[in-house]
Each structure stands twice: as C-alpha cells, then as structure tokens.
C-alpha cells in the first residue's frame, strides 16, 4: 500500500536529498533548464536590479536569479529556501542562502529594495498568504520593487495520478517518465522494504493557493503593497505575474 503526501516542505527536502543536479532544486523538471533561465531573465527585466540594490529571492531554487543579480553588480543578494538540505547544496556555489518560510523571514524591516517570490505562494496554504504578504511588505524598503510570480488565477486539478499499489506506480512511471524515474522509484521501494519505513510518496504538484487578479491585488494592498502591473506568465500560461511597489 502506497500513500501520498502533499507536504511541500518534505517534497523539497526529498528532492534535495536525491538531487543529481543543482537545477533539480528549481522543481521544474530536469529538461527545463532553458525555461528556468528565460523565466528569470524576464524577472530581471521587470525589477531591473542595479548596483544600489539589495535583492532578496524568496524560494530561490537553484540560485539562478541570485547569480543574475550578482552579475549586474547588486550590493547584496540573499536567497531563502524551505529546508536546510536545499540550503546546503546552494551554499556550495558561494551564494548567500538561508532557510526560512514565506511567513517568517529572518530579515530586518526595510532590508530589500528588490524582493522576488516566484512560483512559491501557490504552494503556501491559503491561511498563511496574508502573513506571507505582510512579511514581503515588511522587509521591502520604501520605493522597493516586488515581483510575485506564477499565481494561478483559478483552481487547478492535480495532474499527478494517485495509485495505491506499487505495480501501478511503477507502470505509470515507466510509461510516462522513463526508465530513470522507474528505477529511482524501484530503489525507493526497496529502501522502504529494508528499513520498514512507511511507503509515502511526496508529490510537489498540488496547488494550495490560487486567486483571480482582483482578489490577489486586494490581498497585497492590505499588506501595504501597491500594484504597478500584472501580466500572464510565460510558463505556464494559466498563472499571472505581479509587479508591486512599496509606497514611500
């Protein structure tokens, strides 16, 4: 019997533990490096980090945006990740990365002139969204630019099939994900058998938060952020990107 968990923090921890490439931490898939690069290039175009900026990337993944910010000569660039396992991997590249969750950011008030939070809030429980937006607003300097990206505008069905048997799970992975994914799951099943641990698959595909533009802009406004503009995400098209500023 296999059970499934939508605990995203455990999913991030498991991904870091089994990562074969730093890009695995971007959580887009191993064949999506070019998409990751293009997305972050567009974010840089939106927030225009420069030499006087202090940049914070909440949910910095493999550190792509932090490296781009450094190349532009920013004063500082700090990234946050959900687990210490992820942090340990990215720190090896020399980046300033720390563990934190969106609703509890260990930074002083008005620390960042640029705040980026891309493809993160969609997996935060809805009840924590107001606190997360208040934290983003709190750490932003007056006049700061805030990019919040990939917010689904409507409920979305989880695309990952749920199987209860090991045979069904392995069959699906072989047909749809290839031999490497099949073998990886087979090894995991063997580990469960040897150690006596429960058979739990941590999936990262469930969406916890979605909002129509009007609702999300209102939520951000209640947290002290002012909308500059919003637009449809390049990938995937079913989500929106938002650029805010901190008044003052």
Higher pLDDT, 227 or 186: 227
Residue 112 pLDDT level (bands cut at 50, 70, 90): very high
pLDDT computed for residue 87 by the predictor: 96
Phi, then psi, of 149 in degrees rounded to 5:
-120, 160
Alpha-carbon distance of 153 to 237, in angstroms, equals 10
pLDDT value for 14: 81
Mean pLDDT, residues 228-239 taken together: 90
User: From CA 177, how far away is CA 182, in angstroms rounded?
Assistant: 7
C-alpha 237 chain-centroid distance: 17
> Is pLDDT above 80 for 110?
yes
Write the class of the CATH domain 19-154+209-245.
alpha beta
Q: Contact 201/177 with Cβ under 8 angstroms?
A: no
pLDDT of residue 4: 61
Candidate from 18-32, 83-97, 99-113 with smallest mean pLDDT? 18-32
**61 has pLDDT over 70:** yes
User: Half-sphere exposure (CA, 13 Å, Cβ side) for 72?
Assistant: 21
Query: Alpha helix (H) ranges present in 196-248?
Result: 213-222
Name which residue leads in pLDDT, 113 or 164: 113
Q: How far apart, in whole angstroms, are the C-alpha atoms of residue 100 and residue 87?
A: 10
Tell me what the pLDDT averaged over the chain comes to: 87
Q: Of the segments 7-16, 91-100, 206-215, which one has the largest average pLDDT value?
A: 91-100
Name the strand (E) or helix (H) holding 79: strand 76-81
pLDDT, average across residues 137-160: 87
pLDDT the model gives residue 155: 75
Any idea how long the chain is?
Answer: 248
Whether 84 shows a pLDDT value over 70: the answer reads yes
């Amino acid at each position: 019997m296999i059970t499934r968990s939508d605990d995203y923090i455990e999913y991030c921890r498991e991904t870091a533990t089994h990562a074969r490439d730093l890009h695995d931490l971007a959580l887009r898939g191993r064949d999506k490096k070019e998409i990751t690069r293009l997305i972050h290039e567009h974010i840089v175009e939106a927030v225009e980090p420069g030499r006087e900026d202090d940049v914070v990337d909440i949910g910095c993944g493999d550190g792509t945006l932090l490296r781009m910010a450094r190349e532009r000569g920013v004063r500082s660039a700090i990234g946050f990740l959900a687990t210490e396992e992820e942090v340990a991997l990215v720190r090896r590249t020399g980046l300033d990365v720390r563990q934190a969750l969106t609703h509890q950011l260990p930074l002083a008030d008005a620390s960042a002139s640029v705040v980026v939070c891309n493809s993160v809030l969609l997996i935060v429980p809805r009840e924590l969204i107001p606190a997360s937006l208040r934290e983003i607003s709190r750490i932003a300097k007056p006049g700061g630019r805030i990019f919040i990206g990939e917010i689904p505008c409507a409920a979305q069905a989880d695309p990952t099939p749920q199987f209860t048997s090991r045979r069904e799970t392995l069959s699906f992975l072989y047909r749809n994900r290839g031999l490497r994914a099949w073998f990886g799951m087979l090894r995991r099943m063997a580990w469960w058998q040897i150690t006596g641990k429960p058979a739990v698959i941590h999936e990262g595909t469930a969406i916890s938060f979605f909002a129509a533009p009007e609702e999300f802009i209102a939520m951000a406004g209640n947290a002290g952020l002012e909308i500059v503009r919003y637009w449809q995400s390049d990938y995937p098209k079913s989500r929106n990107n938002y650029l805010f500023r901190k008044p003052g």
